[in-house]
């Protein structure tokens, strides 16, 4: 379950994809398939969410992993390599960046 909590240990990865309105849905389909068929079955995977801006020119992917090395291993998995090449074909560029949760503010 996706949980944003400062006390949560692990690795947060935010990946942004720059797309066109014409390729946005195609890339979303590829990302959904990758999560359901490969990524969610990898050791250390906790949860993820996909976000799309109103203009359909950006996709943001928020994922949580137990350890940084789990995320890196997923990228090297043999089933991910062709998928990553396909992601690259469907967007102008993408960049995964690892983050630590610094603060959470809510009304609860």
pLDDT value at residue 53? 98
Q: Residue 105: pLDDT band by 50, 70, 90 thresholds? A: confident
The sign of the CA dihedral 18, 47, 100, 75 is negative
Tokens 């050791």, located at residue: 43
**Nearest Cα to 63, choosing from 54, 75, 78, 77?**
75
pLDDT digits (tens, 9 = 90+) for 13-27: 999 999 999 999 999
Rounded distance, CA 98 to CA 95, Å? Answer: 10
Kind plus residue range of the DSSP H or E element containing 60: strand 58-65
pTM for this predicted structure: 0.91
* CA angle (61 as vertex; 26, 28 as ends), nearest 5: 10
Stronger pLDDT, 2 or 18, i.e. the higher one = 18
Domains of the chain: 17-99 (3.30.70.100)
Mean pLDDT of the chain: 93
């Amino acid at each position: 379950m996706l949980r944003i909590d400062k006390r949560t240990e692990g690795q947060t990865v935010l990946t942004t994809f720059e797309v066109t309105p014409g390729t946005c849905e195609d890339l979303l389909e590829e990302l959904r398939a990758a999560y359901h068929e490969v990524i969610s079955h990898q050791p250390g995977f906790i949860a993820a969410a996909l976000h799309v801006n109103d203009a359909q020119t950006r996709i943001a992917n928020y994922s949580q992993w137990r350890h940084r090395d789990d995320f890196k291993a997923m990228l090297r998995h043999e089933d991910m390599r062709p998928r990553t090449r396909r992601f690259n074909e469907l967007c102008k560029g993408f960049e995964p960046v690892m983050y630590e949760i610094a603060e959470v503010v809510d009304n609860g």
